[in-house]
Each structure stands twice: as C-alpha cells, then as structure tokens.
Amino acid sequence: MIKKNHIAGLIVVLLAVLGAGGGQSVAQTKYGLTAPASRPTVVFFYAGREPADMWTQIIVDVARAAAEDLQIDFELIYSGSSRKEIFDAISARVEQRDKPDYALIVNYRMGAEQALQYLDEHGVKSFLFNADLTEEGEALIGGPRETLPNWIGRLIPDDERAGYDLAKYLIAEAQRQKPGKTLRMIGISGSYASTAAVKRVEGLKRAVAESENVELAQVVTARWTPSIARQKYSLLKNRYGDFDIVWVANDSMALAILEEIDPQTEQVLVGGMDWTPEALDALNEGRMSASMGGHILDMGFSLAIVKRYDEGCDYASTGKDPSLDSVLSIMTPEKEAYEELIENRDWRSLDFSQITCEKLQSADFETISIDMFFDMKNQSRG
C-alpha cells in the first residue's frame, strides 16, 4: 500500500467578475477594504480540444469543487494549443462586454509574457499558475507586481526539486537492489516548450551529478504523449541495451513505458509524476517504483488566493513575496497517503473555503503542499 513521505501546461485559466468595469457595486469587507459585492466568475481556458490526460482532468475537477466551496461561478472553455489560439481565446474573453477582473494563466509554449502584458494593459488582474516564466521571460517583464502592477502573484510547483527528489529516490533504491553496480539511467521528458519539463530535467541532472556510479545515457522528449514515450523508450533500449532506471516526467508516459518492460527478464525501476489513479494502481502492484505529486490541489489554492484577494485580503500585504512555491511529495509501493481521495476522486469532500485570509497571511504560508491542506482540515475538525 501507499503512504505519504512529504509534500505541476496545457492550461490557461481566466477568472472574471461579471459586470466588472460597468458600475459594479462594492461592499465593505471584514478586512477593512472594499471589494466587489458580486460573485466572481471563473472562465477556465484549457489549451487543447479536451483534457488530454488524467492529470488535466483532475485539475478541472478540483477547480469545479474549489469554485463551489469558494462561491465562484465557473466556466470551462476549450481553446487550441498553439500560442496564437491560446492568446486569441484570452483576448476574445477580455474583449467581451463583461470584461474579466482576474486571469489565472499557465505558461504554455512560452506565451505567458505576452498574455500577462496584454492583461495588464487591459486592466485585468492576473495570477500565474503551474508553469513559470523562463529566465528570458522574467528578464523581460520581471516578477509579480514589478513592471506589471496587475500581475498579482504566482503559485508554481518546485519542478526542479521534484525532478531531483524522484531521481534521488530511484538511484538509492537501485543501489540498494544492485550494490556495487554502475547504474544505467535514461530520462523521458515532456516538451522543450514546457518550463515544468525543463525544470524537472534540471533536477534529474543535478541528482545524477551528485551520485556515484550512475550513468545518464540520454534524456529525450516525448511531448507529454504516452505513445511517443513508449516509442522513444524502445529506440533507446535498442541503442543502449538494458537500463536500471527510467526517470519519466509524468505518470501517463511512465505507464506507457511499463507496457514495453517484461518484469520477468528486466529489473528496471520506473518513476513518474502526478499521482494519477492508474499510477497508484501500478505502485500497489509493484510495477512502478515511485510517483511525485500533491500539486493536484494547487488549482484550489490558487482560486482561494484570488477569491480572498477579491474580498480585499491581499496575501502579500504583510510583506510576503507574491511568488509562492508548491512542493511535491513522493509515493512509493511501501507508503500510503491520500490514496482513497485520489482513487475515488471525491474532490467535493474537501473544503477549500477553509483557506482563509488569516491562513494565507500567516508565516507558514510560504510553500504550498498537500500536507498543508490536510493539516488545516484536521485543525478545523478540532
């Protein structure tokens, strides 16, 4: 069974308040500031035709559950996946009569800089979620509230650390199983256009550099596509022979690679990321060695941050950095955590309204984790 150790795109999310800019009424809040009296509307622009994998579907479901708890009207609109299609979807929504007040976006295909600038120019507050700017992008527009006052913040998984932690665990486990052996390892990444994939690979390479007797034969990209990951694995196996470790940037690709591995003849450890229900099944069955996750609730945290901001509670008003990190945890076959929640996908059993202004402004609210959410849940039970 699986147990917690410790405690992320293809998405653009727009959060809007209906009637903004058109004489919308305001109300005094308990935080002493004025805020819109109406209920915020959330428009979720997904960069694709439909959710392409289980992780994306979970994010959509979590968003719906969080919106219900936080009294947010929620819409889901599918856009294409090119930079132009994504930007056109954002601009089309912003140019409607009920112009959005908030936009929550993901840096997909390196298009966030253009989107953040456009939103700022049109008076729409924005929040960056799940995939960060590149170094070049940040050099161009800075961080939240620096050159773009309407960019209020960001919540980004620490993907470099996730890639590092996954690699370190797989290396340690392989060394335990094969003491003294020089380990051969490969990496299957997502996309060069994904900052999350790039950061995860950086973590992988850092872990290998710190480890003795580990050879990283090659890292290849598979465009987050299971069938391509499977093909790339077969090509690498033909090129290099057998492997001891296969590090994979997400669970969907890892599960596809498992189909190419004969457990009777190949002793290879495979690890991925996202905590998909199928990956948890593979962990329980001993076919998969590890999965990093917990960032499935980042959407709920992001919506709570924006909702409280809309009520007049600025989480960064106490001098806190408006840039927040999310830490991923590792699940292994020997450990168990949140398995029932993930397998049942009962996100409405969670209460995102417990993410209050006081909690957002507390000293502990610097790094987000799934552990933090459940600690709050347990405290609320008394």
Asked whether residue 85 is domain-assigned, the answer is yes
Instruction: Clarify whether residues 224 and 312 are in a common domain.
Output: no
pLDDT digits (tens, 9 = 90+) for 353-370: 999 999 888 867 777 888
- Domain of 176 in residue numbering reads as 160-293
Instruction: Clarify whether residues 140 and 202 are in a common domain.
Output: no
pLDDT at 109: 77
pTM flag (> 0.75):
yes
Instruction: Clarify whether residues 240 and 219 are in a common domain.
Output: yes
Instruction: Clarify whether residues 24 and 118 are in a common domain.
Output: yes
Instruction: Clarify whether residues 310 and 198 are in a common domain.
Output: no
The residue count for the chain: 382
Question: Which of these three, 253, 271, 293, is where a domain ends?
Answer: 293
φ/ψ of residue 372, rounded to 5: -60, -45
pLDDT at 362: 83
pLDDT averaged over every residue in the chain: 85
Instruction: Clarify whether residues 186 and 171 are in a common domain.
Output: yes
Instruction: Clarify whether residues 151 and 26 are in a common domain.
Output: yes
Instruction: Clarify whether residues 312 and 265 are in a common domain.
Output: no
pLDDT digits (tens, 9 = 90+) for 55-96: 788 888 999 999 999 998 887 777 777 889 989 999 999 999
* Residue 249: DSSP 8-state: S
Instruction: Clarify whether residues 303 and 154 are in a common domain.
Output: yes
pLDDT digits (tens, 9 = 90+) for 10-46: 333 333 333 333 334 344 333 444 445 468 777 777 7
Numbers of helices and strands, H then E, in the chain: 13, 16
Asked whether residue 250 is domain-assigned, the answer is yes
pLDDT at 51: 63
Q: What H or E segment, with its residue span, contains residue 188?
A: strand 183-189
Asked whether residue 5 is domain-assigned, the answer is no
Instruction: Clarify whether residues 242 and 357 are in a common domain.
Output: no
As for how many domains the chain has, the answer is 2
Q: Which amino acid is at 223?
A: R
Question: Which of these three, 260, 293, 326, is where a domain ends?
Answer: 293
SS3 103: strand
Q: What is the domain-level CATH number for residue 63?
A: 3.40.50.2300
